[in-house]
């Protein structure tokens, strides 16, 4: 679909159910001026999401000004685990701004002290220090910086290599992007740092060999010796696919890291705070990292990220050497504390595990029905539905996009497909979604899938 066509409203059947309401053409004509302004004044790189203009979002629903209402399966890209617009978070923000205390830079504040203490108490040892930032990419950059500092202090300059995984996503800043696993996203860097290498992620579909020996073999092929490695950086599940690595693989990786004094870093930016049915997704592996990065669901709303780690690693840089203007912003800290309260009080981690069973059972049925689904991955309330050409292990990004757009027209909102060939449909509703709304949205998704398959077959 070309971009101009995307801004042309399309007549769609009217939908009015308990949880969804689509009563205008899509995109809604009265929201077009907003979309056009964004297209005019923002770079092209920011386009590409389904054309819904969010006016307000509450709980598991998103509303526009034209009277349409969606069941949200995006959580604003995995931010609002606790639901959109939580009154508890709004109240915490209100109290903080009316104190008033809006910014402190690196000066101390009580709310920042409360937050870092709370986080360390939630984390298992040896994760006993926390660095706060605003974005996930910054937290990843921090982890890279400390890992390299640790490596070269332990093994000299040689021990600087960061090993990560193909198809990984860790952010779009210079270091985080180089640690990522999509070569096409790195062309602009030109002088790639040879100290970043990637090996295949053991997803069990695109990569058949899920043994840890294969990890060692790939490192060897890349000419990297264990003594060269400062850290292995891994998303606890791959954002691009929602795939977890086998538990045994990660346990062997942990042992190998211990043997060679290599830091193990889990990027939990997308996976943390209940999304997968555990507070931290690394609990699924029964392994604790040396460093971990958090973002998104950590605050449930405002820009807040963190890099947690071993004290002997995070204390390597001296006072005043790592200032960051907005890190530990008091309003964001207050919102984050309120978010953590909600997760705990409402048992959202357990809820994610329970509803995840409903979600994954249904998606397994869908996979049986449609050969266009290569596999379904994920745990708890995150799933990746991988669209393929039937009978071939070939991603079908056109189908994935068609499914997402048709779902939007039926009142189920997802972000644009991600991953290899743009063929992974990600499903990640707020953890507070009622079970009947989840089932209703799955029904609509199945209808959209069926229609998209028909239209794809006709177009082929």
Question: Using CB under 6 A as the criterion, which residues of the chain lie in contact with ligand PLP when the complex forms?
Answer: 135-137, 140, 169-171, 235, 239, 267, 269-270, 295
Closest contact distance (angstroms) between CB of 136 and ligand PLP is 2
Measured CA to CA, the distance from residue 222 to residue 162 in angstroms comes to 13
DSSP 243: P
Closest contact distance (angstroms) between CB of 393 and ligand PLP is 25
Nearer to ligand PLP, 28 or 265 (CB): 265
Nearer to ligand PLP, 63 or 420 (CB): 420
The per-residue b/e assignment along 297-330, b for 16 or more CB within 10 angstroms, e otherwise, is bbbbbbbbbbbbbbeebbebeeeeeeeeebbbbb
Closest contact distance (angstroms) between CB of 139 and ligand PLP is 8
Q: Tokens in use for 23?
A: 């009563």
Query: Cβ(211)–Cβ(194) under 8 Å?
Result: no
Nearer to ligand PLP, 26 or 302 (CB): 302
Closest contact distance (angstroms) between CB of 382 and ligand PLP is 11
In 200-270, which ranges are E strands?
229-235, 263-267
Q: Tokens in use for 72?
A: 């949200």
Give the chain's length: 460
Closest contact distance (angstroms) between CB of 295 and ligand PLP is 5
Nearer to ligand PLP, 5 or 45 (CB): 45
Nearer to ligand PLP, 133 or 215 (CB): 133
Query: Cβ(423)–Cβ(384) under 8 Å?
Result: no
Nearer to ligand PLP, 181 or 277 (CB): 181
Query: Cβ(53)–Cβ(64) under 8 Å?
Result: yes
Closest contact distance (angstroms) between CB of 30 and ligand PLP is 30
Contacts of 228 (CB under 8 A, 6+ apart): 158, 159, 160, 161
Closest contact distance (angstroms) between CB of 342 and ligand PLP is 21
3-class DSSP state of 449:
helix
Closest contact distance (angstroms) between CB of 296 and ligand PLP is 7
Count of C-beta atoms within a 10 Å radius of residue 194 = 11
Nearer to ligand PLP, 59 or 136 (CB): 136
Q: Residue holding tokens 């309003």? A: 331
Nearer to ligand PLP, 218 or 382 (CB): 382
Nearer to ligand PLP, 22 or 89 (CB): 89
Measured CA to CA, the distance from residue 32 to residue 28 in angstroms comes to 7
Long-range contact list for 359-366, CB < 8 A, 24+ apart? Answer: 359/383, 359/427, 359/438, 359/442, 362/439, 362/442, 363/427, 363/442, 366/446, 366/449
Residue, CB closest to ligand PLP: 136
């Amino acid at each position: 679909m070309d971009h101009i066509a995307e801004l042309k409203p399309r007549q769609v059947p009217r939908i009015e159910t308990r949880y969804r309401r689509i009563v205008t053409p899509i995109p809604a004509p009265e929201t077009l001026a907003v979309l056009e302004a964004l297209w005019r004044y923002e770079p092209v790189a920011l386009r590409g999401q389904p054309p819904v203009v969010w006016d307000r979002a509450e709980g598991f629903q998103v509303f526009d000004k034209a009277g349409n209402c969606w069941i949200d399966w995006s959580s604003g890209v995995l931010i609002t685990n606790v639901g959109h617009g939580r009154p508890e978070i709004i109240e915490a923000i209100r109290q903080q701004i009316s104190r008033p205390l809006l910014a402190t830079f690196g000066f101390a504040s009580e709310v920042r002290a409360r937050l870092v203490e709370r986080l360390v108490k939630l984390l298992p040892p040896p994760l006993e220090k926390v660095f706060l930032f605003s974005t996930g990419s910054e937290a990843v950059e921090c982890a890279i910086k400390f890992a390299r500092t640790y490596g070269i202090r332990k093994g000299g300059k040689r021990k600087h290599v960061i090993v990560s995984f193909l198809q990984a996503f860790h952010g779009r800043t210079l270091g985080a992007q180089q640690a990522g696993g999509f070569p096409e996203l790195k062309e602009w860097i030109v002088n790639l740092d040879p100290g970043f290498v990637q090996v295949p992620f053991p997803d069990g579909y695109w990569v058949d060999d899920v043994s840890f020996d294969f990890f060692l073999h790939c490192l060897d092929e890349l000419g990297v010796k264990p003594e060269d490695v400062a850290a292995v950086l891994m998303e606890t599940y791959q954002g691009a696919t929602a795939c977890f690595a086998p538990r045994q693989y990660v346990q062997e990786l942990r042992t190998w890291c211990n043997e060679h004094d290599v830091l193990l870093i889990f990027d939990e930016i997308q996976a943390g705070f209940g999304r997968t049915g555990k507070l931290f997704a690394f609990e699924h592996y029964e392994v604790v990292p040396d460093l971990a990065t958090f973002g998104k669901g950590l605050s449930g709303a405002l820009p807040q990220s963190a890099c947690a780690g071993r004290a002997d690693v995070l204390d390597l840089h001296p006072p005043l050497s790592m200032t960051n203007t907005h890190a530990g912003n008091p309003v964001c800290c207050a919102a984050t504390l309120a978010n953590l309260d909600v997760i705990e009080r409402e048992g959202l981690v357990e809820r994610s595990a329970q509803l995840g069973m409903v979600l994954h059972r249904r998606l397994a049925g869908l996979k049986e029905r449609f050969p266009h689904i290569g596999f379904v991955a994920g745990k708890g309330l995150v799933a990746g539905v991988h669209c393929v050409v039937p009978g071939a292990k070939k991603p079908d990004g056109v189908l994935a996009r068609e499914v997402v757009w048709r779902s939007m027209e039926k009142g189920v909102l997802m972000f644009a497909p991600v991953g290899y060939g743009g063929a992974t449909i990600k499903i990640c509703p707020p953890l507070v979604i009622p079970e009947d709304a989840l089932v209703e949205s799955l029904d609509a998704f199945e209808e959209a899938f069926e229609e998209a398959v028909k239209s794809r077959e006709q177009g082929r």
